Structure formats: C-alpha cells, structure tokens
Structure 1
Amino acid sequence: MSDSGAIFDLVIAGAGASGLALAAAVKQAMRNGVSIALVDPAPPPAAGAARLRTVAIADGPRRLLERVGAWQAIEPNAQAILKMAIMDGQERDAVRPTHLNFEAKSSGPLAHMAFNDDVVGALAALCDRLEVQRLKASVVHWSPGKRVAALGLSDGRSLRARLGVAADGARSKLGALAGIATVGWDYDQTGIVATIAHERDHEGRAEQHFLPAGPFAILPLPGRRSSIVWNERRADARALLKLDPEDLTRELEFRFTPKLGEIRLASRAEAFPFRFQVARRFVGERLALIGDAAHVVHPLAGQGLNLGLRDVAALAETIVGEMRLGLDPGAAPPLGTYERRRRFDVAAGGLGLDSLNRLFSNDFAALRFLRDLGLRVVDRAPALKDMLIAEAGGAGNGAPKLLRGLAL
C-alpha cells in the first residue's frame, strides 16, 4: 500500500484539523474513486487527555464540519457563543466600559468554542471510518514530476502522488522541501492560555478586553468554565508563568474583572509566542499549502482554524471538480484557481488582524479616544455589525460549497 509502486491521488502531510478535514471532505465526495494517504509522525489525541488549546469555530467552518460528518461528535463538547463584548481599559480597572456588542440572531450562534483536541479527534475518527490511509511518518524528500510527485518518508518508505498537500504547520517541512519561502514577523507578545473555573454562569458570552499589553480574551466553555487567551509582552509572560498559582490567579483577577464571581485555575497555564507569517506562494509544482503551512495570523479574532478550513473548502471543491471530469488534480490550472481563491482572503484578513492588534495594543490617550469612538460608531450601526458577523462567519454567497453547507 505504501511502497514506490503506489500512486495516490492525494498525499497530505500533517494530520491536524486542516489536513484531516481535507482528507475527509475529498474522500466523502469521491468515495472509492479516490486514494488518499495522510502522513504524520504523531498519533491522534488520546481520549481523556488533558486539553488546553481551544478554537473558535465560525458559522461557515461549522457547516463544513457538519457536512463532512464530524460536527455531531464535536458539538456535545462545544459551547455556543451567543454574545460578544469588546472593551478597552487598564489592567486594574474593576469595571471596563463596553464599546461594541454583538448578539446572536435567530439564524444561530455567533460561533462555537471547542477544544482543539476534540476537533482533531473527531476528524481523525471520521477519516478512519472513511478508510483514509494513515502513515505514521514525516516527509523527508519531495520531487515533483510531470505526472506525479515522489515523496520519501522518514521510515524509509516512498510514495507517489498526483497532488501533495502541505498541512504540516507553521514550520512546514514539505513547504520547505518544495522551496516555498515565507514572509512574516514575530510580535513581542506571548499568549498565556488556560481554562478558568468561575462562580457564575457566563451565559454564552465572550469578551475581548483591549489592554495596554494586548488583548485579553474570555471565551465561554461548557459549564462554569472559560478559556482565556492572555496577551503579554514576552518577558512579562515568562515572569507571570513563574508565579505560584495563588499569585498568578491574583494577576488574572485584575484582568478578568469580578463579574463572574470567584475564579480559579482549572488547568495548567501555558504560553505560546505570536507570529504573523504568510507563504510567498500557496502552491508549487504538484503541491498546495493549507492551514498554518500557508498562513499564521494573530489570534485576536480566533480566525486561525477558520482560515485553515476555508482553505480546505476551496481546495476540496477544486480537487473534486477536476477528478469528476477525469482530469489531473495536481495540474497547474486547478492549483492556480485554488491560489487565486485564497490569497486575497488570507492577505486581507491577516493584515487586518495585524493592524487591529497594533492599534489596540498600546496606551496612547489620543489613540484610545479615537479607537473607542470608532467602536461606538460601529455599535450604533446594525447593518455594519451584521456585515462584520457575516464576513467572520465565512458562509456568504461567494463562499465555497462546503462553507455554505452544500455537498461537493
């Protein structure tokens, strides 16, 4: 199944959410008419393992997960976001004014919060049910040819593929082997991530507090728990994580504010450095990049997973459309179509988030006045708020079929 004689239609490097979702979407659409291999050195998340990293799932990506058959396993452990409030202030403010509010409409929640391991676990189980071949290895050699590409694996095996997909993260080995460079920069910001238990119900309300060091997000989870993404300058984050739990909780209380009563750490706290990075090309010869291999954005609006699943929807639609016509999914024309569909969305969204982070991660009085005024103007414009919600959801009329809940 995995020697040099095997030719796969699709070989995907990376079994995170984007790689798994692409495999599931294409396999479900083509069934026995497609051969797919997923290559990843790590096993899927173990059931019951301690979870920490959370993801926001917007409306369009939720429809994709529902259409491919993974959402039914994710939803019981997910929390709907029914309200969102954006605030601006100082760390020690007991009460911060709300400048912008969003509320869910009758069409459904603003988004859902879930643990990343739950999303990956559900997609991994789905791929197993669809009999997607899984190889526990990494790609160490890439050589594209006229009709197929040759891949060498870390365990000595070799594969051939009509199309390779790099879904192997921000430090994509397959992207590097293909000579695809990235452009980007580090932020002097680190995100401290933890699960917080609190005394009162959050009622499905998410909050984004813009503080001088950067955003502090409170994201609702099932029960009386919330996930926090706490932006701090890197040196300050290192110092905070060295505190004992009581002192760290006290620092948390200043930023969390007392609205949900007494709080406590319900998990370990970990730090993740933030970076902006975009691949100079989203495609190469017989190769497409998706997810973090193609782009890494500031987590300000929780768009990382959503951008990756938008990639999946666009690439899956392109691949399936070509294969149903008996055409080559790894040829230059369909890959060019995929890149055109995704470049602008990623560039506009990523640079927009970068600009917002720079605008709000400071304490200049005049700038604070102007940005707060801008937020209040948006808050008083229902049509503009609806447009922002629709754009964040990614399920508009021009969106790929899967993001609109339609079959390929």
Structure 2
Amino acid sequence: MICIDRDFPGGNILVESIGDDAVILHPDMRDTEGGWFYWAFRLRGAAGRTLDVRFAPNTPIGMMGPAISADGGVTWRWGNESFTNDSFKLTVPADEDELLVAFAPLYTQSHLDRFLAARASVGGWQRHVLCRTRKGRDVEWLALGAPATTAAHRVVFTARHHCCEMIANYAMEGIIDGVLADDATGDWLRRQVAFCFIPFADKDGVEDGDQGKNRRPRDHNRDYIGESMHVETAAIREFLPRWGGPNGVTAAIDLHCPWIRGHYESMIYQVGREDPGVWGEQQRFGALLEKTSWPGSLPYETADDLPFGQAWNKATNYSGGMSFSRWSASLPGMRLPTSFEISYSLVKNVPVTTDGARAFGRRVAQALAAYLSS
C-alpha cells in the first residue's frame, strides 16, 4: 500500500487523495501569507510502480522536476521523467521501497552535522551556540580563521533567513571548505580574516519544513527593524556588533534562493543595493567572482546582478520590514553588505546539483580573498 508522510526533518505535504497509481497533494502553507512552493514528502510502498503525482491547486514543480533521494536525503538526483508545473511521473525502482521526494535537495541539521563531522580532523573551526530557538533547538555559529580581535577583516555569512531556501547551505559548505583548504586561498583567508558562519537563521523552520517566506506576521528576513519578533534575528542583531568589535565587520553575505521559475530564477545573482557606493563594491566583488573557476561550478556572470529599481528589487518589496543585508550595511566598518540568489534547479541551462553549489561556494571563497587583499 502506498504511504506518503512528512514525519522527518524538513517534511512538508498535505495529502488530498491516494489512488492506485495516482496521488493528489499540495504544500502546507502554515503561517505563510499567500502562497509559496516548498514541499517534501516520504514515499513508501510504491517500489516497481509508476505514479502520477499531481498538486492542486498549486503549481509548485520547479524547472528540473522533483528531487529524489533513496538514502534518506544524503544524496539527491533529479527525476528524469515527464513533468509540468503541477505534476510529474515517478517510476520507483523495484529496489527502492522508501524515497524522499522534494521540490529541491533538502538540507537540514543532519546534513550540517555530517559535513562538520567529516572535517573534525581538519581543525581550524569552532562551533558555538548563538541562541536557542523557541522550540529548544540550538542555533549554531561557526568560527573560522583568525581571532576576531586581531584579524585584518571580519566577514559574516548567513543562510536560511527563509527556511525553504536549502541550496544556499550547499554553497555555504563550499565556502567553508574554501577557507579550510590547504592552498594559497585558504591559507591567506585563515591568517587575515575572522569568519562567522550562521547556517540556519530560522532553525525551527528548517527542521519543521516551513515555507518561511512571507511568514506571518513578519518573516526572518524582514525582522531587522524595531524590536525583532524572532529570537534568532534578535540574537544576530546583538551578537554581530559585539563580535565585530571596534574595527567592525568588513563584509556580510547573505545566501538565498529565488522564486520557483523565470528569467532571474535561472541564474545566480547579487541583489543590488540602492546606495551607489555599495553597488560599486558589489560590482567589484562580482567581477572578481566571475574570473574565478572551480571544476563543476554553477555559472555566474556579473551582468546577471540585479540593480536596484529593476524587476522585483524595488523599495516596495522591502515595505514589510528590513532585511539582514540592509541592516548589516549599518555595521561599523562595512564595505560589502550583499546577498546572493542561487537558483534551486537550473542556472543558465546547467542543472543545479549539490556538488555544483558547493563548487560555486569555492569560487566565492577565492573571490573574497582577491577582494579583501586588493
């Protein structure tokens, strides 16, 4: 008998009906204002069968169809059968009785723990607790590189302000590996730069499988104004100025994923700031990033960066509060407050893979060394 559930970290699905070989589903919006497209379910009892999976009334299928894992979410592949914006065919191999099927490759606490455990022998990093969520989970921050009190530069990376944007974490893994690498880039970064990595700005949302985007009454990436409503953003606002100390923070880079499909959803880009000086720094960093290379990396071109005032990047989009990137621009010493949007599924006709996102992260580390040393 076919069984579909969401009882695992990151799970999100509502089942409308299950027939012989057809299922009708839709994402659980929970406290999201309007609609969004994150979903992830576990499928059992369908080995050797071909299913017709449909979503109603939503259209939450991305540009590569569903992401599928046969090992509990450790590795992922894209489905290779027909799909539309609201449906896909899924042929389950006879030897795969349990699958995770999701909008894109998931990344939860277990992925971070596995990543860090594999680098325990490398050293050069420390794990700290930033705060505890309302549900009792630890929100970690990772210290890499030189001590913050003596480093020439202090740099912050954040991800999952919108908890559904999982590809950002795979890119963050690549950045961390770039800092830890036994090469000229890693050596320079560890000697000259203090790093603070915050992998999960909305830890409860990540583990619970929330949408996160447009969370009522205010999502985490609009919570950097007035009195923060979320304990994680309040902790970040208190911690980073103190961590930066008298010399401040040089760069703050927030990693995101965009909308489900479309022109800007098919690339990696920086979200341009309205301040001409900051936009100039973003363009300088982007030019350096474009010159980098790493085998298997997702492509990036500076020309794809989205200037302020174009497409969705307008003042009206920020009326619901203040983003991390805008707030971080006010930190003492700040030169590069920026954010990246990294496609969930397809970048310039290159399918997004977890390794491709990690490889892009290695390029970000290279570009950061070039930016800070010039």
| Same-fold status (TM-score > 0.5) | no
Looking at secondary structure, tell me which structure has more helix per residue: 1
- Structure ID, larger Rg: 1
Using the size of structure 1 for normalisation, the TM-score is 0.26
Looking at secondary structure, tell me which structure has more strand per residue: 1
Using the size of structure 2 for normalisation, the TM-score is 0.28
